[in-house]
Amino acid sequence: MAMSKVLRSVTVLFFLTLPSFLWAQKSDSTLVEHRVEQGENLYRISLKYHTTIKKILYWNHLSPDSAIKINQVLKIWVPATTTVKPGEKEDKNNGNNNTGEGEKKPAAEKEATEKPTEIAKPTVIGTDTIKVSNKGNNDFEQQFDTLKKWLKPVLLYVQGQKEPPEVFSGTRIALKPEEFDSTGVLQLSGYVDVYSSWYSETQGYDQFVKFPTLEPFADQVGLNQIALSAKYTASKMRGVVTLHYGDMPESSWSAKYNLIQQANAGVKIVKNLWFDMGYFRTHIGLESVQANENINSTIAIPTFFEPYFLSGAKLTYSPAGHFTFQINSFSGFNSFVENNNRKTIGFSVLYESDRLSVAYNNILSDDSTLTHKTVKQRLYNNFQTVYKSQWFDLGFELNYGLQGNAGLANSENYSHMASSILAVKYKATDKFAVYSRGEYYNDPNGILCGMYFSPATKLRSGLQLWGVSMGLEVKPITNSFVRLEGRIIQSFKDGQDIFYSNNRFVPNREELVLAVGCWF
């Protein structure tokens, strides 16, 4: 076994060194050491010695993308046929000793010789004369290429390889530099917020409270959300990827793609018209799933039952002025994954100025599944507006929805729901503010919320709730918040005791939340 390894190593060494040995040790050649001077490149040096760039790279163990430096010494083997005195400078005819105007230089040489530079004097080893000739170089190069083809199967065998190393075996991970567009803008951002909350509602250990989107655990410090985002915008393309992790994604996000908050890409069709596809955060509603984008740290009941995420396509038109129009096609009302063969479609219009924004959104969907064939056509309408001034931020949202085949008394009837949010913030200083929010949700047939069981009445029905919250906000730096918020939620339907506290069912819940967040 040991002898076999030795023989293999010797064989590899022999065949790897044979090409260099055959090339370099020709009886009619002379070794020249050329010292690189300012303004020279491999092209000019190859012309000077009547050889090729490929050979110079080979003789000096350089790769094709190697850059030569001033005073670098290059070894060049020159065939000893024509005599040229050492130190003789390159003439204007690139080796042509005839008088008269020389041939026009190629573009590559012209670019490299915009600043005239004297050619370096070669150092000669072992002779007083350098003999230069271009005759026979092409023949020798062809012979060497043929020799390499003959040796390749042998080299592969002794190296134990089944295919040549240069064979491309898969998609590149590192992209070529020319595959990056330098005209676009890349924005990287991050967000994190943590919390500690108390709820009057009693729940089991490590269980989410009802309506758990933000601050979903009680009596513990929790990581509400950490999000990292990359957004790229160019003249004709754009895209965004946001990944998130924490209690919010665990409690309220897609089960299959839980780490993806959004991932979409778009192309400009014509001026002001964009087509985007992928996974999106919802555009519907006053409040976001990130507390830093809201007035409050908690989520209102109307927001909780609106869609959070959508997968599909958007066509957006933004003409000159303050308006934006959009038509949408999605997989479902609140889904990354298709749940039936009927698409969800919608329309949006937005007016936006420096202080005021007004939006209308609608979404038409079918809430039935593949296993339940009854069509449950749903139309959800959302109106929202935000006004910002130096001292106040004011937000208002109004929603109305209806759905077929959803009545409790008669399953073939249409059912209706309505909800609303009013939020206001008073900014006493740049670093201190107080805020309040009122919320109303009336969905008696459970179009969005589904059915809830009331132990007191022994009946199942939808939700009818109102709530109010108040809070204090401190901003240590501009891109941060510290909030202390109190809230109460109350059922206004008799007998709807959906919360559990002190070993009994009750119609209300109190909350107290401390939240700290920053973004960068």
Q: Give pLDDT tens digits along the chain (520 positions).
A: 444 454 455 444 444 444 444 444 444 578 889 999 887 888 888 888 888 888 888 888 887 777 888 889 999 988 765 444 444 444 434 433 433 333 444 444 444 444 443 333 333 333 333 333 344 445 566 666 666 666 665 555 555 544 444 555 566 565 555 567 777 898 999 999 999 999 998 876 778 999 999 999 998 899 999 999 999 999 999 999 999 999 999 999 999 899 999 999 999 999 999 999 999 999 999 999 999 999 999 999 999 999 999 999 999 999 978 999 999 999 988 888 887 778 899 999 999 998 999 999 999 988 776 666 667 789 999 999 999 999 999 999 999 999 987 765 556 678 899 999 999 999 999 999 999 999 999 999 888 998 888 777 777 889 999 999 999 999 999 999 999 999 999 999 888 888 988 888 899 999 999 999 999 9
Task: Tell me which residue of 126, 28, 37 sits closest to 78, measured CA to CA.
Answer: 28
What is the distance between the alpha carbons of residues 192 and 516, in angstroms, rounded to a whole number? 9
Beta strands (DSSP E) in 377-462 are: 377-388, 392-403, 415-427, 432-443, 452-454, 459-461
Q: CA-based angle 300:212:468, to the nearest 5?
A: 30
In a shared domain, residues 305 and 438: yes
Same domain, 76 and 213: no
Model pLDDT, residue 386:
97
Range of the domain at 197: 185-222+281-519
Q: Considering the entire predicted model, what is its pTM?
A: 0.66
Mark whether 200 and 135 lie in a shared domain: no
Q: Where are the beta strands (DSSP E) in 85-145?
A: 123-124, 130-131
User: How far is the C-alpha of 379 from the C-alpha of 339, rounded, in Å?
Assistant: 17
Dist CA 58 CA 71 (whole Å)? 19
Q: Residue 18 is encoded by which pair of tokens?
A: 């044979």
CATH number of 465's domain: 2.40.160
Q: Considering its fold, how many domains does the chain have in total?
A: 2
Q: Are residues 382 and 504 in the same domain?
A: yes
197 shares a domain with 65: no
Q: What is the pLDDT of residue 196?
A: 96
Two tokens, residue 465: 């709730």
> What is the pLDDT, as a whole number, of residue 472?
98
Last residue of a domain, one of 113, 140, 158: 158
Three-state DSSP at 94 gives coil
Distance of CA 443 to the CA centre of its chain: 38
Classify residue 43: in a domain, yes or no: yes
Same domain, 492 and 376: yes
In this structure, the number of other CB atoms found within 10 A of the CB of residue 319 comes to 11
